[in-house]
Chain A
Amino acid sequence: MAEKRRAMIKIKPKKFKVGDIVKVDFIAIHPMDTGMQKDKKTGEIKPAHYIDSITFSFDGKPFTTMKIWESVSRNPYFSVNYKVTGKGKITVDYTDNQGEKNSKSKKVKPKG
């Protein structure tokens, strides 16, 4: 894979304090092919290509791990909660079934 796929992390709400429970949304740009669809141009069946594992971690310490199958929609969206403990960085790593890896991180800055 020459070009890195895009991914995005959003923390909701924007303003939060230590001890608040925030939503961490992760969206990846990924085709999530099931291995049963046909390519509309060539008519050949596209090989399965989907994200199969995701790890959410805070400062290198994982707090949520996921196993994903092909039944998840294209450009998948995942949302979990996280209890803010202090300043740091949330990192999301994913791997797909063809061995592609990607990671994205976002700083956590609680106020007050």
Chain B
Amino acid sequence: MSRKSESRAETAKLARLLGVEDLQALSFLLPVAAPELRDYREAVTNLLYDDDQELLQRTADAARMLPARTLAAIGESALGPLICARLTGLIDPHRAVEISSHFTIDFLAQLAAELDPRRAVEVVTAITTDTLVVVSTLMAANGEHVAMGRFVAYLDDATLGLCVEALSDEDLLQVAFVMEGEERLTAVFEIVGTARTKRILAAAHSYGLDEQARHVAALLKSLRAGQRGAG
């Protein structure tokens, strides 16, 4: 695995978090070691999530006064995906799932792209499989591969399998490159299967994803060698 590729994956995640659309603007981060970038990203995630926490908590508390359908309408037409994502972890999970059932699927995909699933595990795991699969395809269409990579650890194998089936080879490679939790990567590619994995890696050049393919292949090899060593 090349250190530069690891740093590139981390830089992509940081760019998404900071709302920097042009990755070139962060090219000065590529020589920085990935663990340093990861630590910085974690700290920024906490900074953004903890900021205005009191006001967000009061907003979440005030939400109890309104029916779920009204809240969904307010969320979608007034609050927007970023604020709804921040609120998701502050609302009772059952209520959050009820509200989410009234969102349009497009909005849900935008909200998911802003969500830190670690802060809303109960909500993510309670969303129906059908909805998660459609959301994953919409997120892929929106180019939200970094955000998708955050969710993989929270999906069970059955849901993951359906998402893998629904996504294109190119999207799978993009997500695998920036996926959180390397230990889940082998599980993902077991679901993908040997034939499709070979096809994805072989076609990477045509997607302009050579570096991503090399990185994923090397990571898979090292993880599998580690598993064999431990077994």
- A, B in one complex: no
Residues of A within 8 A of B (CB): none
